[in-house]
Amino acid sequence: MASRKTLKLSELVGGNIARRRKQLGMTQDGLAEALHISGSALSRIESGQAAPRFSRLEELAKILDCQVADLFRNQDIPLRVRLDTIEDMLKPLPAATQEDLVHLLVVAIQALKRSAAG
């Protein structure tokens, strides 16, 4: 059986937080202080060992001068890994919900194609 590499959401978000912090020239200690958390807590978040609370995401986005959605994006991840990660996220959902989400994705892709062509 072939090994699949998937990315945990906490790793994706943590990596994006670290990347954005560095782009802004902020230190880990500086961001931790702005968030009123310890440097070790921020280190665990950035390494993907811990995930920030949802209430903290807006605060992070504001401090990092980005959108909350930006913390969940990463184009550097190979498409196969992203697709495997999405598949793993869908698996625990009921079959009908899986089908609805796949259909929604197909419709969105089709709309984007039409938009790009027109």
What is the per-residue pLDDT across 73-112, written as a single tens digit (0 to 9) for each? 876 777 887 788 788 888 899 999 999 999 999 998 999 8
Residue of higher predicted confidence among 26 and 77: 26
Task: Give the number of other Cβ atoms within 10 Å of residue 1's Cβ.
Answer: 3
Residue of higher predicted confidence among 29 and 84: 29
* Number of domains composing the chain: 2
**Residue 1, pLDDT score:** 40
30-66 pLDDT, tens per residue? 999 999 999 999 999 999 999 898 889 999 999 999 9
3-state secondary structure of 42: helix
Does residue 33 fall inside a structural domain?
yes
Residue of 2, 1, 5, 20 lying closest to 77 (CA atoms): 5
Q: 39 is in which domain, residue-wise?
A: 9-72
User: Are 61 and 91 in the same domain?
Assistant: no
**Residue 38, pLDDT score:** 96
Does residue 1 fall inside a structural domain?
no
User: Are 14 and 65 in the same domain?
Assistant: yes
* pTM of the predicted protein model: 0.62
Give, in degrees to the nearest 5, the angle at Cα 67 between 64 and 68.
Answer: 95
User: Are 33 and 18 in the same domain?
Assistant: yes
Does residue 32 fall inside a structural domain?
yes
Distance CA 109, CA 111 (A): 5
Does residue 66 fall inside a structural domain?
yes
User: Are 83 and 68 in the same domain?
Assistant: no
3-state secondary structure of 99: helix
User: Are 87 and 46 in the same domain?
Assistant: no
